[in-house]
Amino acid sequence: MPDPGQAVGDADLRRLLHDKRLRATPAGLAVLRVLARTHDHHHLTAAQIHQRLRADDPDVPAATVLRELRILTDAGLAHTLHDSDGTASHGIVLAPHHHVACTLCGVVHPLPTTTLHAALAQVSKVGRLSFEGDTIVLHGICPACRRRPRGPVPAGPGATDAPRAR
Ligand SMILES: [Zn+2]
Ligand SMILES: [Zn+2]
């Protein structure tokens, strides 16, 4: 499995599809390529994926994006996150991961599951909760949003700087 930090080539993507017994259709490969090469946002909405695909093929229908996302998600090559406002975003799964998300702009970054192992072991001891097969989202404010002046009500100094878990 390719290292998530490295550029993922088409050969890697074809192998991922092949390992899941999926045919490397041009549409499936194109959607997976967008998800694999989005370095600014780890997760994208279906509309953002569609927009990026249209740079190569202006006629690609939105329904194709949704269909391919469903196939990739069913195979475990992609997964979906739901924002607090219900917005669904999609990301490639090269390795199991949790997420850190900005509460203001919604940008999502992957967080390797290993970084939370100790914390989760503690949680499962205390609350006897199991997080298997689920993804945890830690919320905070990203650097771009921290720099941006925010709304008519000025926030107190440092009011929103600390990451908060939800
Ligand atoms: Zn993800
Ligand atoms: Zn942000």
Q: How far apart are CA 97 and CA 114, in angstroms?
A: 8
Output the CA 156–ligand 1 centroid distance in Å.
32
**Tell me, what's the pLDDT at 151?**
65
Q: Do residues 141 and 102 lie in contact, with contact meaning Cβ atoms separated by under 8 Å?
A: yes
Which residues belong to CATH 1.10.10.10 in the chain? Answer: 1-94
Alpha-carbon distance values, 129 to 35, 84, 134, 139 (Å):
31, 22, 12, 20
Ligand nearest to the CA of 109: 1
Which residues belong to CATH 3.30.1490.190 in the chain? Answer: 96-166
DSSP category for residue 116: G
21: left (phi over 0), alpha (psi -120 to 50) or beta: left
**Tell me, what's the pLDDT at 2?**
46
Fold category of 1-94 in CATH:
Arc Repressor Mutant, subunit A (1.10.10)
Output the CA 153–ligand 1 centroid distance in Å.
33
- Letter string b/e over residues 79-108, b meaning 16 or more CB atoms within 10 A of that residue's CB: bebeeeeeeebbbbbbeebbbbbbbbebbb
Two tokens, residue 153? 């009500």
Output the CA 108–ligand 2 centroid distance in Å.
9
The arrangement of secondary structure in 96-166, i.e. its CATH architecture, is 2-Layer Sandwich (3.30)
pLDDT tens digit at each of 166 positions of the chain: 444 445 789 999 999 999 999 999 999 999 999 999 887 678 999 999 999 999 999 999 999 999 999 999 999 999 998 877 888 999 999 888 999 989 888 888 899 888 888 887 787 788 777 766 567 889 999 999 999 887 655 455 544 455 555 5
Output the CA 15–ligand 1 centroid distance in Å.
20
